[in-house]
Amino acid sequence: MYIFVAGVILRAIVRGGESAGSRHMNTHLVYLDNAATSWPKPPDVAEAMTRFLAEVGANPGRAGHRLANESARIVYDTREAVAALFNAGDPLRVVFTRNATEAINLALKGLLDKGDHAVTTGVEHNSVMRPLRALQERGVELSVASCSPHGFVDPDAVAKAVKPGTRLIAVTHASNVVGSIAPVREIGTIARGKGLCLLIDAAQTAGALDIDMQRDNIDLLAFTGHKSLYGPMGTGGLVFGPRIDISRIEPLTRGGTGSRSEQETQPAFAPDKYESGTPNVVGLAGLLAGVRWVRARGVEHIRRNEMVLTQQCIDGLRAIDGVTVYGGLDAARQTATVSFCVAGVSVSELGLALDEDFGILCRVGLHCAPVAHRTMGTFPGGTVRFSMGAFNTKRDIDAALSAVARLAVGAGA
Amino acid sequence: MRPDNSVVLVHSTSHAIKAEKLMRRAGIDCKLIPVPRKLSSDCGICIRFAARDKSRAALVLAKGGIETEGIHDLAR
């Protein structure tokens, strides 16, 4: 989406740039960093959050008066909307966290004990890899199933990594670097066949791809609210499938829940076991509006548009001399995330020039996923990442492609 | 004399909201209220409804997977 910058915001941007000049007056920003967080958000999201702060505002589940109950209803409605979107079953098994990272930490640290074995993959984000490496130091055994250089998880490699003592398979639904989509259903079948838990990191896919926990045998689904669900930052959660025995998953934090106040020990039931302290209801009000917006528009519809833009981006980049595009190069097999490099120019220089000279906002570097870059052979230089969202248009991609073409020529590629 | 109202106690606020939704969907008029101290020392909320709906409420909640902590008559 083109944002026509004006007034104070424009002046701030112009002042911030070294090459500030009048040409910025007519520059519009092209936001291609949706894999980091989606922007803009549907107007309903800010409206719902404003409405909560202005008209509800109370702490849910702590009082019982009408505003507290209204606040609790917003939280519950959000659980219900999330459960329906992922075909999860009971809304009370949707546990809210600050983000996907916290949800993944809850799943991994809550489930794995010394002596347990876990399997993960060669395209994981550090949100999965770092807690697993920390657990490894505490006696959890870890296998990293290798992936193709294009970032695709091989289900056979996952199956081969399973051994006696394996308790969990943890897989990212789609790489945050190249967008490659993992064969979740096949891995779910493997997990189910061997009686293992399957944790899916859906940070890049919740709202962007069809997710059905029951069909795909997903036991634990970690999601973020601020990417393809179009909610605000500070929202996310872990959804517990019906096979998960919550008595076997420890909480990350303990504290006040508004329930069982007479007891000095944590409640044993979901969601309270995992949700201590005042929740982010203003964020959840926004998330609810975001999820409703996604469901009204349709995941399929959003996906179709993003696939068109993704293929346009891949094909356009590949046509530019000196540009290498990573991943499967097929929009049908990836999310709306495209990673590339330009010969002769570092990704940091590219990112700066795209922003300052062309108003194109993207992310460069390793994207918190060193193992994925090792898999693709782009470590430690990293890549430039364009990531599209529901508000991007073909014109945005045209603008980004022509900017890259000019920079590639300038680099002497 | 029959009591006018009953309350159903559940585990948590989230359960109470779910119970309220299920009961309203089933056409049972109900209201969330603080748990009466004489029934429990828990400081949460429970659902008040007409005593005549007691068996229907119990059925709706059981079908909806809500584990209750008892349905009590409220003395007037």
Chain B closest-CA separation from residue A379 CA (Å): 46
When scoring A70, A80, A92, A240 by the number of chain B Cβ atoms within 10 A, the one with the most, hence best to mutate, is: A92
Beta strands per DSSP E along A202-293:
220-224, 236-240
Coil, strand or helix at B46? strand
When scoring B7, B17, B25 by the number of chain A Cβ atoms within 10 A, the one with the most, hence best to mutate, is: B17
- The shortest CB-CB distance from B12 to any of A79, A90, A267 is to A267
- The CATH 3.40.640.10 portion of chain A extends over 44-297
- The CATH 3.90.1150.10 portion of chain A extends over 2-42+298-410
Q: Which two tokens stand for residue A33?
A: 């960093």
Indicate the pairing of strand B68-74 with strand B5-10: antiparallel
**Contacts for A175 with CB less than 8 Å, ≥ 6 apart:** A123, A151, A204, A327, A334, A337, A369, A372
Task: Considering the domain delimited by A44-297, tell me its CATH architecture.
Answer: 3-Layer(aba) Sandwich (3.40)
Residue A210 DSSP code: -
Contact at CB, A257 and B17, closer than 8 angstroms? no
**Contacts for A241 with CB less than 8 Å, ≥ 6 apart:** A88, A89, A93, A213, A214, A218, A219, A220, A221
Which residue ranges form the domains of chain B, and what is each CATH number?
5-74 (3.30.70)
Q: Is B44 on the interface with A (CB under 8 A)?
A: yes
Among chain A residues, CA nearest to B11 = A259
User: Residues A37-82: pLDDT tens digits?
Assistant: 999 999 999 999 999 999 999 999 777 899 999 999 999 999 999 9
CA end-to-end span of chain B: 11
Angle (CA) A52 B28 B73, round 5°? 100
- The shortest CB-CB distance from B44 to any of A91, A259, A269 is to A259
Q: Which two tokens stand for residue A250?
A: 């420890």
ipTM: 0.89
* C-beta of residue A125 within 8 angstroms of C-beta of residue A176: yes
CATH class for the region spanning A2-42+298-410: alpha beta
- d(Cα A386, Cα B71) in Å, to the nearest integer? 57
pLDDT of residue A135: 98
Instruction: Give me the tens of pLDDT residue by residue for chain A, a chain 413 residues long.
Output: 445 444 334 333 433 333 333 344 446 899 999 999 999 999 999 999 999 999 999 999 777 899 999 999 999 999 999 999 999 999 999 999 999 999 999 999 999 999 999 999 999 999 999 999 999 999 999 999 999 999 999 999 999 999 999 999 999 999 999 999 999 999 999 999 999 999 999 999 999 999 999 999 999 999 999 999 999 999 999 999 999 999 999 999 999 998 888 889 999 999 999 999 999 999 999 999 999 999 999 999 999 999 999 999 999 999 999 999 999 999 999 999 999 999 999 999 999 999 999 999 999 999 999 999 899 999 999 999 999 999 999 999 999 999 999 999 987 64
* C-beta of residue A158 within 8 angstroms of C-beta of residue A145: yes
